[in-house]
Chain A
Amino acid sequence: MATASPTTAPDALQPAGAPATSLPDLTLIQRLVLNLRAARARAYVRVVATGRELSWLAFEVVLPILSAAAYVFIYEALGAPPRYTGFVLLGTAMTAYWMNVLWSMASQFYWEKQSGTLEIYFLAPASRVALLLGMASGGIFMSTSRAASTLIAGSLLFGVRYEVASWPLAILAFVLTLAALYCLGMLFSSVFLMYGREAWHMASALQEPVYLLSGFYFPVRALGFWAAMGASLIPLTLGLDAMRQLMFGAPDAAFLPVGWELLGLAVLTVVYFLLALRSLAAMERLAKREGRLTLKWQ
């Protein structure tokens, strides 16, 4: 074993030679760099995991396609228009994001607490929002690989035909859906941080009902206007409906015009992001007051 001397290296966060109480404020650029580094690092775990643990191919592509197949056969048996196969497949692909938001975003701080990593996050100078954004971007990468695999494999298997009205609008709908959805995930994560022990049950309780409310396997219009309006608080409801309209041309099955749905998603993104910021700060204060950031209180 080597016996190296302690290292010294420049550090913007604690400049060398500065007296203890004279720690200059970080400039906006320094703050930005710090938080971007933190976000990139947190995203890295999920990006790496996607390539290193390929078992997800079996569990998160093959099994969802089997679920989708059941709905596809029902629609075919009932003589529904072929685009319903596309509706089902798109909904199936988007389940990857919902699962990711629930189990790897909302519940993440709870898992981190259980594994002892949460206290490392909270005693570091990086912002919690940066960490959550890192989790979100890593999660989006991870889920997109699953969703794309499902979509490609399912399209080939079921012979789905796409009638894309506008690629830019379809991409915008997808991006806004993910933005609003992951901001909702950030909001959940702060709540789950505080009520961590129940996180598992909360996530389980939310998982299946959202499949129904957001119309993962059917056009949400079927729920009726007011039920669908209520379900629109979940970004996937509006997102799926908009994407279905833009990718399969289904005016008869549409819930709202695409423009309204995109506007709704943009509003949800802003509202959930602001709520997440406030909730995160409030929950952190509460958790520190009640000693819930760590497992051991002594």
Chain B
Amino acid sequence: MSAPLSIDVQHVSRQFVTKKGQTFWALRDVSLQVHEGELFGLLGPNGAGKTTLIKILSTLLLPTSGQVRVAGFDVVREADRVRRVINMVSGGEHSGYGILTVRESLWLFSQFHGLPSKVALARIDELLEVVGLAEHAHTRVNKLSTGMRQKMNFVRGFLNDPRVLFLDEPTLGLDVETSRILRSYVKRWVKEKPGRTILLTTHYMAEADELCDRLAIIEGGRILACDTPNNLKRTMQDEVVLRMEVYPSLTEPQRLAQLPGVLRLVPDRGQNGHQVLTWGLKDDGVIGTVIQALQQDGVRILRLEKADPTLEDVFMRMVGRRLTDGNGQSNHSA
């Protein structure tokens, strides 16, 4: 028997009206179920509807239609109950009062969840140790670097020991080591606390692959696929993924993308002025055609590998483009 549902989204749509009076659907008929104890990921580019969905789940926004239950409670009719069992951390948030110290600020937020001060301060001290912020516990928030603030926000999300935690790009802008520590804590938290559930949105494919039991790929307000990372990657078994580093860069990648047997070509900037090309090919037989075409264009192949499909490849196949962040940078794992 599978675990009880922790998040149950049924046919949810959300419409916004722009200032010019135009309507825009941020979510269209979205349905998904997340079980207790799951670490569930939502993958999608900016504007895909991830944050809209999280805001509906966390009672900050009403759905235009459909039903949503979190921890068994309806987010519209039983919002008060939902709020007792959830918390949320958004990447890049700058919440808090600069005049307070880190420890004071976290205590402040813990009080909104009704925690006794003694319990709250013990958790704060422990969690600050975990994220390596203990030595800044008495530093004012307005003196923290962006990364430190993000660590503080991360701690805030765990203070009330929520049954359901929403992590919206939690490692955005963090250094590699801090991201690793936070990921490790997230994994352990879900594992060691029965019945806890995390819904995570991230731009970082490796992060999603490492953390998530299941993933939904969302684009244009619709769920395109929902499965375990391995099962999603298995859907790529009918094609060959080829990665190569070339120099000079292709001037007309669109032309080569139309070669017979080429399903997809995604150019990306590499190091030292080189270009990285990721090809989705129908079968091995197309490799020769690709190499020949590059040679005809005077492009040298510096490195070539037949790669195992990654979530990135799955995403590109489904959405037709890379998952990029707001600055248009590629989504290398942090």
Interface residues of chain A, those whose CB is within 8 Å of chain B, are 1-14, 19-21, 23, 26, 30, 33-34, 37-38, 40-42, 44-45, 48-49, 52-53, 115-117, 119-126, 131, 285, 288-291, 293-294, 296-298
Give the residues in chain B near A9, CB-CB below 8 Å: 119, 122-123, 161
- Interface pairs A-B: 5 shortest CB-CB: A21-B72, A41-B111, A34-B114, A124-B112, A1-B132
A-B contact pairs, 15 of them (CB 8 A): A7-B161, A9-B122, A12-B114, A14-B163, A30-B114, A34-B114, A38-B114, A41-B111, A41-B112, A48-B99, A115-B95, A124-B109, A124-B113, A125-B84, A297-B52
Q: Knowing that A119-B88, A125-B80, A288-B60 touch, tell me 7 more A-B residue pairs with CB under 8 angstroms.
A: A1-B132, A4-B127, A49-B99, A123-B58, A125-B83, A126-B111, A131-B112
Given the known A-B contacts A13-B160, A23-B73, A294-B55, are A120 and B112 also in contact in the complex, defined by CB atoms under 8 Å?
yes
B45 to chain A, nearest CB (A): 11
**Tier of interface size on chain B:** 35 or more
Q: Which of A12, A38, A48, A120 contacts B100 (CB 8 A)?
A: A48
The answer to whether A14 touches B85, judged by C-beta atoms less than 8 angstroms apart, is yes
Which residues of A lie under 8 Å from residue B83 when comparing CB positions? 123-125
Query: Does B71 lie within 8 Å of A21, measured CB to CB?
Result: yes
Residues of B within 8 Å of A49, CB to CB, are 97, 99
Chain B 89-129 residues near chain A, CB threshold 8 A: 90, 93-97, 99-100, 104, 107-109, 111-115, 119, 122-123, 126-127, 129
Residues of B contacting A52 with CB < 8 Å? 99
In contact, A4 and B73 (Cβ under 8 angstroms): no
Interface residues in B1-54 by Cβ distance below 8 A to A read: 4, 6, 16-17, 26, 36, 46-47, 49-52
B contact residues vs A (CB 8 Å cutoff) = 4, 6, 16-17, 26, 36, 46-47, 49-52, 55, 58-62, 71-73, 80-81, 83-88, 90, 93-97, 99-100, 104, 107-109, 111-115, 119, 122-123, 126-127, 129-132, 134, 156, 158, 160-163, 181, 184-185, 188-189, 192-193, 195
Contact B114–A1 (Cβ < 8 Å): no
- For A293, give its contact among B52, B60, B81, B85 (CB under 8 Å): B60
Nearest residue (CB) in A for B133 is A1
Knowing A1-B132, A1-B181, A21-B73, say if A11 contacts B115 (CB, 8 Å): yes
* CB-CB nearest in chain A for B72: A21
State how many angstroms separate the Cβ of A42 from the closest Cβ of chain B. 7
Q: Which of A4, A26, A121, A288 contacts B62 (CB 8 A)?
A: A288
Kindly report which residue of chain B lies nearest to residue A25, judged by CB atoms. B81
Say whether A123 contacts B108, CB under 8 Å.
Answer: no
Contacts of A13 in B (CB 8 A): 84-85, 113-114, 160
Q: Is the CB of A42 within 8 A of B108?
A: yes
Known: A6-B192, A23-B85, A116-B93. A41 touches B59 (CB 8 A): no
